[in-house]
Amino acid sequence: MRSLALSAALVAWMGSSVQAAFGVTTKANSYSVDTNGGLVFDVSRTNGDITNLQYNGVQYQGTSKMTAINSGIGTSTVTAETINGYVKITVVAKSMPLTQYFAVKPNDPTIYMATYITGEVSPGELRWLARLKRSAVPNGWHGDVAVLDGCTAFEGKDTFKCPNGQTRCKMYTGDRFIDDQVHGVTGNNVGIWLIMPGVAYETSSGGPFMRDINTQSGDDQELYWYMNSGHVRTEPWRFGLMGPYAMRFTTGAKPSGTLDTSFFEGLNIQGYVPDSKRGSVSGTAAGVASGFQSVLHWYNNASQYWAIAGTGGSYTSPLMKSGTYTMKLYRGEFPVAQDSVTITAGAKATKNIASTESNPSVIWRIGDFDGQPFELKNGDKIERMHPSDVRMGSWGGSYTVGKSSPKEFPMALFSKEGGAPTVTFNAATNQASVETTLRVGTTLSFKGGRPSVKINSWTGKDPGAPKLIDSRGVTRGAYRGYGEVYTWKVPAGTLKAGLNTLTLGVSGSGDASFLSANYIVDAVELQGPSGVDSPR
């Protein structure tokens, strides 16, 4: 009997294997796609939602909401076809200027996608959001930073406090676009990954250092890719084709960030530009000190691209659409040079660029002007937790030049939290007798937050509120904004030969505690001559 049962099971398994084949089937309410690579998924014929995600016989689609652009794009015209041996599904939204494409290769457990927009879409953001069964893929991106179990919202609807005093927020799962080619969620013998090769970001906004939500572990396991958002938004949306990008299923291993989407050329994808109609630029980026990344950034109103220079400063851009681009060079994330370059389809341009930053004599400096606060106090934690998290160090404090380390100076200052930090330093006689320059670099501000400065009895002029970014920043793990740098001429005689004190505060409005006016510190320096008769 046991042998007969096993034989029957084997026949059934073989039958199902024989029946499985690559292609698309029309059902009453959906199009069902079998990749013949272990992945079977269904797309609603009403609104383009993905309603079924089965991989190796296991269901991964969540139950609260379906997988879709944003939280669904509403009633749509949905069509399916097979072109050149590939399945293509087109979803044209009826209530917003958006078309979503799904494409599938034979024997490949990957949903290739692209999103075409001709204007802004509701609710002011554009994201791919897979809502998955958390029991099947329990592991989110960056560990537990967005695991909401037992935690209560305490700031807006997205930032949570847990009983142990730790904090959680889906914004804490983000990585810089320049670093984020693959992210995903995993479970037992499975990984579900979003793949965003460089070309995927070309019509997004925000530049190479933009970060956004990647996952959140609540009732569902949510897996995101943000194409455009209002989270610390620094430039207008771009319109056109977002992608190609992909969602790939594996047995657990993280896939490569390389994505072959050349087959899109034959699928009539609106806005798709093949490699043959692109150009590139290469050259040398000079003048960035060793120990810092040399980042190249090209952008115009239609597209954006980036690259990291290699040994000796040599670089080659990604393949780019034709056009004229602003070209920036960054030391880390701090801009040090700007130029322009014109890209022509099928051509390779050459453009060298070198830092134009001055190199003044400095009496002292705290931190590095690199556009990042990571070397300062709490800077190593701010991307993944709230400033009130129990794991954070105290805010404010004092710093003594020559004795303290950058880790003792706060990476963010708040008008109603932590107090105004002080910097004490010695000045020589020749330094006290001349005009000096105080320079404070910031990376992000909130509620008009900007530095207020006082050295001994001298008070610097209020520089005025910076350009508003209408979004919470430091409390949601963001550190990158417009990157204002403030300078003050400190009159001769302000410094004393001997001990001096700088008090650095915050001007601006805002609410209580960490939602008061604030700014993130990049670096602080006092420019002036070297001391020649250090006081006793």
Cα-atom radius of gyration of the chain, to the nearest Å? 27
Q: Enumerate residues 6+ apart whose C-beta is below 8 A from 452.
A: 420, 459, 460, 462, 504, 505, 506, 507
Q: Supply the pLDDT for residue 20.
A: 65
Q: What is the pLDDT of residues 370-408, one digit of tens each?
A: 999 999 999 999 999 999 999 999 999 999 999 999 999
Nearest residue to 230 via CA among 217, 242, 213: 213
Q: Tell me the C-alpha distance between 508 and 122, whole Å.
A: 31
How far is residue 457's CA from residue 477's CA, in Å, rounded to a whole number? 36
- Six-digit token string for 411: 């990476």
Give the pLDDT band (50/70/90) at residue 3: very low
Look at residues 190, 236, 525, 173 and name the one whose alpha carbon lies nearest to residue 364.
525
List the single range of 5-19, 78-92, 111-125 with lowest mean pLDDT. Answer: 5-19
* CB atoms inside a 10 Å sphere around CB 274: 13
Task: Judge if the upstream peptide bond of residue 421 is cis by omega within 30 degrees of 0.
Answer: no
Element (H, E) at 6: helix 2-19
How is the beta sheet containing 458-459 ordered, strand by strand? 398-400, 422-427, 498-507, 450-455, 458-459
**Domain 275-354 superfamily per CATH:** Carboxypeptidase-like, regulatory domain (2.60.40.1120)
DSSP 476: G
Residue 122 binned pLDDT confidence (cut-offs 50, 70, 90): confident
Share of the chain above pLDDT 90, in %: 93
Q: What is the torsion angle, in degrees rounded to the nearest 10, for the CA atoms of residue 372, residue 377, residue 383 and residue 389? A: -160
Contact 427, 492 (CB under 8 A): no
Contact assessment for residue 50 and residue 66, using Cβ atoms and an 8 Å cutoff: yes
- Quick count: other Cβ atoms within 10 Å of Cβ 34? 20
Residue tagged 């958006």 (tokens):
98
Q: Same CATH topology for 275-354 and 362-527?
A: no
HEC string for 242-291: EEEEEEEEECCCCCCCCCCCHHHHHCCCCCCCCHHHCEEEEEEEECCCCC
Q: Mean pLDDT across the stretch 215-241?
A: 95
- Distance between CA atoms of residues 474 and 480, nearest Å: 9
Mean pLDDT of 83-101: 97
Class of domain 362-527: mainly beta
pLDDT mean over 333-348: 98
Distance in angstroms (rounded) separating the CA atoms of residues 474 and 446: 8
| Residue in 520, 378, 444, 388 with CA at minimum distance from that of residue 232 | 444
Q: Is 90 exceeded by the pLDDT of residue 16?
A: no
Q: Residue 322: which residues within 8 A CB-CB, separation 6 or more?
A: 277, 278, 279, 343, 344, 345
CB atoms within 10 A of CB 196: 24
| pLDDT at residue 533, as a whole number | 65
Dump pLDDT digits (tens) for 290-321. 999 999 999 999 999 999 999 999 999 999 99
* Distance set, CA 179 to CA 104, 308, 433 (Å): 26, 10, 48
Copy the structure tokens of residue 31.
Answer: 């199009």
Q: Where would I find the beta strands (DSSP E) of 5-109?
A: 23-26, 30-34, 39-44, 50-55, 58-59, 68-69, 76-83, 86-93, 98-104
Choose among 97, 102, 99, 101: nearest CA to 122.
97
Tell me how many degrees the CA angle 281-286-290 measures, rounded to the nearest 5. Answer: 125
Closest CA to 351 of 329, 366, 367: 329
Kindly list the domain boundaries of the chain, sorted by start residue. 2-266, 275-354, 362-527
Q: Which of these ranges, 102-111, 122-131, 491-500, has the smallest mean pLDDT?
A: 122-131
Structure tokens at 115: 């999103």
User: Taking Cα atoms as reference points, which of 91, 82, 16, 81 lies closest to residue 51?
Assistant: 91
**Which pLDDT value is given to residue 390?**
98
Neighbours of 56 (CB within 10 A): 14
Of residues 102 and 15, more confidence is placed in 102
Torsion over CA of 399, 405, 410 and 412, rounded to 10 degrees? Answer: 120
Positive or negative torsion for Cα 316, 319, 322, 327: negative
Tell whether domain 2-266 is in CATH 2.120.10.30.
Answer: no
Is the confidence at residue 49, as pLDDT, over 50? yes
